[in-house]
């Protein structure tokens, strides 16, 4: 019906691999698009090496937001906080097999990304992370 709804996007939405709540976590933060009514909570646990050891999300959003969250969680694994902050919309789209998003849906893909960035910056509060390209 529509190029946006790639097989990957539909699959990741229907059968997410990273949906769930991490009881042991270093980061737990909710992103919200009040205009859409979407809320996604992201959980991260860092390993002894300081890199992301576990990642998951809960909550509800549209297919774009939820599938983006799912592929984002996958991309975060093994990344240092600094490297996590470099992940943006382009990476998520690539993982979903999409070239672009309609302008009105960009905020859907950004919802989990912004939550992750905010959570990491709050957890580390480090100015050295501040310059990383957010989106």
Q: Decide if residue 35 touches another protein (CB under 8 A).
A: yes
Contact characters 68-87, another protein, x per CB under 8 A: --------------------
Q: Decide if residue 61 touches another protein (CB under 8 A).
A: yes
In whole angstroms, the minimum distance from the beta carbon of 63 to another protein comes to 5
Q: Decide if residue 134 touches another protein (CB under 8 A).
A: no
Task: Give CA–CA dist 92/76, Å, rounded.
Answer: 11
Q: Decide if residue 97 touches another protein (CB under 8 A).
A: no
Task: Give CA–CA dist 25/5, Å, rounded.
Answer: 32
Task: Give CA–CA dist 132/127, Å, rounded.
Answer: 10
- Angle, alpha carbons 101-7-10 (nearest 5°): 75
Task: Give CA–CA dist 67/14, Å, rounded.
Answer: 8
Residues forming contacts to another protein in the complex (CB under 8 A) are: 1-2, 4-5, 10, 13-16, 19, 34-39, 58-65, 102, 105, 108
């Amino acid at each position: 019906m529509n190029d946006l709804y790639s097989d990957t996007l539909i699959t990741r939405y229907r059968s997410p691999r990273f949906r769930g709540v991490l009881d042991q976590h270093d980061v737990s933060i909710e992103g919200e698009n009040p205009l859409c009514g979407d809320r996604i909570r992201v959980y991260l646990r860092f390993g002894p090496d300081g890199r992301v050891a576990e990642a998951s999300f809960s909550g509800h959003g549209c297919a774009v937001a939820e599938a983006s969250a799912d592929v984002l969680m996958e991309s975060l694994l093994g990344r240092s906080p600094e490297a996590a902050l470099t992940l943006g919309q382009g990476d998520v789209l690539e993982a979903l097999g999409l070239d672009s998003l309609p302008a009105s849906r960009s905020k859907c893909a950004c919802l989990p990304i912004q939550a992750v960035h905010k959570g990491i910056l709050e957890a580390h509060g480090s100015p050295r992370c501040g310059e990383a390209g957010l989106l």
